[in-house]
């Protein structure tokens, strides 16, 4: 690589204090500032699809603020993602807060266009509704993908107040549209009260399998990873992470918190254990800063994004 071809990394924290300057993700360059990019982090500030507490529209900027402290070498994966690939912050996708259908189209269009410019995208939400247009965009590029979905919630419910497109329904809609390889898809970290037993039956009928939080507690991360890896195989993999998969102690800043979740340490270990899989895209959603304290949730989310980018960097190219 000639020096001009070398990726432009984050602002050097030994020359400019981390707390100075505008917060792009990890102080990385903006997409406009480099000739081309391999991996883009993009925000989708949108929360018109929520069933309970609003506020995830402020998630992207909150996660970027907390990402200032990330450093360029990731010892857990033995990789320097920002040196290996050109990683950029692609800013925020504009999504109409007053018209959910239009917003969903805007997100699909913008994610498709961005997907034409870069190899892989990690999206910061926004509420979980955005996974539907993101999967539509991914499907155009890769066909049906295995979906590994970490969440307290199934998000395969049918409708809320008659509305089919909400943050509780993206994986039902994506399944119906054939966007997902349902022979290789799985939920991780599911827990908490449901509307009825039928929720689980409906979910299984769609084709999903589940590794619950209880399974992780009972058998540990290695056993959970074994089940996940057996299920997803080597299919192109999309990872969707609802930050409420974490215990509210680890992620209070979210709209539909459920007690008894994973620790951030467990989630980070799980992602690291998937780092060699063909991850084609990912999202981290449902960070709602109004309920956060001391950036607890945003720090966790920023590290989750960092582990995803690290894993992708070893595969892109």
Q: Which residues bind ligand ALG (CB under 6 A)?
A: 51-52, 128, 153, 155, 167-168, 242, 244, 256, 286
Asked whether position 151 contacts Zn ion by CB under 5 A, the answer is yes
Q: Which of 64, 153, 187, 250 binds Zn ion (CB under 5 A)?
A: 153
**CA–CA separation, 281 vs 120, rounded Å?**
6
Distance in Å, CB of 288 to ligand ALG, minimum = 10
Distance in Å, CB of 31 to ligand ALG, minimum = 28
Q: Please tell me whether 155 is known to bind a ligand.
A: yes
**CA–CA separation, 201 vs 46, rounded Å?**
30
**CA–CA separation, 45 vs 277, rounded Å?**
28
Residue position matching structure tokens 């929720």:
199
Distance in Å, CB of 153 to Zn ion, minimum = 4
Q: Please tell me whether 242 is known to bind a ligand.
A: yes
Distance in Å, CB of 38 to ligand ALG, minimum = 29
**Residue 52 contacts which entry, ligand ALG, Zn ion, none (Cβ below 5-8 A, type-dependent):** ligand ALG
**Residue 19 contacts which entry, ligand ALG, Zn ion, none (Cβ below 5-8 A, type-dependent):** none
Query: Rounded to the nearest 5°, which phi and psi values hold at 90?
Result: -95, 15
Stretch binding Zn ion (CB under 5 A), from 55-63, 71-79, 126-134, 295-303: 126-134
Q: Which is nearer to Zn ion, 87 or 190 (CB)?
A: 190
**CA–CA separation, 113 vs 105, rounded Å?**
12
Q: Which of 47, 92, 203, 244 binds Zn ion (CB under 5 A)?
A: 244
3-state DSSP call for residue 63? helix
Q: Which is nearer to ligand ALG, 167 or 172 (CB)?
A: 167
Q: Which of 64, 128, 136, 191 binds Zn ion (CB under 5 A)?
A: 128
Q: Please tell me whether 244 is known to bind a ligand.
A: yes
Q: Which is nearer to Zn ion, 43 or 81 (CB)?
A: 43
What residues contact 43, with CB distance under 8 A and at least 6 apart? 59, 60, 61, 63, 64, 91, 92, 93, 123, 124, 126
Q: Are strands 87-92 and 39-44 parallel, antiparallel or unpaired?
A: parallel
Q: Are strands 120-125 and 279-285 parallel, antiparallel or unpaired?
A: parallel
**CA–CA separation, 81 vs 226, rounded Å?**
25
Q: Which residue ranges are tagged as binding site for Mn(2+)?
A: 128, 151, 153, 155, 242, 244
């Amino acid at each position: 690589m000639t020096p001009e071809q070398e990726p432009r990394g984050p602002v050097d924290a030994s020359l400019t204090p981390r707390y100075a300057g505008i917060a792009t993700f990890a102080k990385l360059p903006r997409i406009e500032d480099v000739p081309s990019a391999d991996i883009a982090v993009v925000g989708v500030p949108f929360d018109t699809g929520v069933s309970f507490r609003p506020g995830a529209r402020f998630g992207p900027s909150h996660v970027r603020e907390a990402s200032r402290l990330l450093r360029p070498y990731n010892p857990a994966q033995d990789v320097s993602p920002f040196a290996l690939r050109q990683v950029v912050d692609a800013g925020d996708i504009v999504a109409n807060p007053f018209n959910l259908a239009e917003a969903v189209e805007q997100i699909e269009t913008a994610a498709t266009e961005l997907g034409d410019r870069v190899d892989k995208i990690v999206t910061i939400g926004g509420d979980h509704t955005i996974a539907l247009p993101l999967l539509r965009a991914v499907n155009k590029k890769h066909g049906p993908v295995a979906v590994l979905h970490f969440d307290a919630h199934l998000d395969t419910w049918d409708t809320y107040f008659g509305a089919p497109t909400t943050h509780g329904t993206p994986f039902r809609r994506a399944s119906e549209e054939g966007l997902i390889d349902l022979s290789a898809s799985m939920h991780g970290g599911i827990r908490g009260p449901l509307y009825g037993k039928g929720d689980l039956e409906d979910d299984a009928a769609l084709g999903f399998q589940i590794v619950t939080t209880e399974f992780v507690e009972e058998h540990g991360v290695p056993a959970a990873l074994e089940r996940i890896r057996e299920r997803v195989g080597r299919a192109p993999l999309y990872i969707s992470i609802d930050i409420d998969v974490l215990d509210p102690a680890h992620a209070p800043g979210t709209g539909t918190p459920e007690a008894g979740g994973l620790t951030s340490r467990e989630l980070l270990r799980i992602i690291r254990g998937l780092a060699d899989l063909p991850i084609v895209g990912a999202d981290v959603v449902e960070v709602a800063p109004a309920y956060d304290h001391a950036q607890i949730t945003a720090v966790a989310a920023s590290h989750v994004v960092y582990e995803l980018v690290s894993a992708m960097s070893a595969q892109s190219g």
